[in-house]
Structure 1
Amino acid sequence: MAVLHATEPLPTVAPADPPGRQPSAPLAKRRLPAGRPREWYVRHNRRLKAMRLAIALLDAGAHGPGFVHDRTIRAAAVRLGIHPPSTATCRMVRQLMHYPR
């Protein structure tokens, strides 16, 4: 074990991922909490779908929300194999793409 002195910088090595888990592999799904109003579940699922679509569009080279129209977002949904999003979800995708990274 190396001893660090106060004047030495901290190591910049990131902790290793657990064995057997790929960086791009999705996390295990957990059950949603019970007893919430139906609107909460609708909003939660809409956010998840919007995040998936925003990530896919950014990975595909979309440069920002001004370049992505509803038609483009719906085409990305078809490529991902998910139901085409509503207009509200398309708006949410553009809002997520607008936030600085």
Structure 2
Amino acid sequence: MAVAAVTTEPLEEPHPMSFHPPLATPPHRRRLPAGRPREWYVSHNRRLKAMRLAIALLDSGVYQPSSAGNRRIRLTAERLGVHPPSDTTCRMVRALIRYGR
């Protein structure tokens, strides 16, 4: 009976000019600028959250704003591990899906 040999070496060397992007690395986070009104920070973070949720919904196959109800958006937020979005954020998510097509 023949037994296959197990090796940990690659069969061929990768091309030195090939590009292999890192897998799911979060973007570099910078500090927000100081001295802005509190409303600016609230709206900025709300936009970021809405964008993350819209991308996750689009990746999961939700392409119509009518398919993205508040419940579905909040379940997506739970799956991503972020706090449940407000009704305002849910409206922003639907707007991003509408204009992202």
State the Cα distance separating 1:63 from its structure 2 match: 1.8
Identity %: 62
Task: Report the counterpart of residue 27 of structure 2 in structure 1.
Answer: 27
In structure 1, how many angstroms separate the alpha carbons of the residues matched to 2:60 and 2:37? Answer: 35
- TM-score (normalised: structure 2): 0.76
Residue 56 of structure 2 corresponds to which residue in structure 1? 56
Q: Tell me if 1:78 matches 2:78.
A: yes
What amino acid sits opposite 1:30 in the alignment? Answer: R
Where does structure 2 lack aligned partners over 5 or more consecutive residues? 1-17
Partner of 1:92: 92
Normalising by structure 1, we get a TM-score of 0.76
Q: Which has the larger radius of gyration?
A: 2
Gap change, CA 1:82 and 1:47, over 3 Å in 2 = same
Unaligned ranges ≥5, structure 1: 1-15
Counterpart amino acid of 2:85? P
Deviates more, 1:58-67 or 1:31-40: 58-67
Runs of 4+ in 1 over 4 A off after TM superposition: none
Equivalences, count:
84
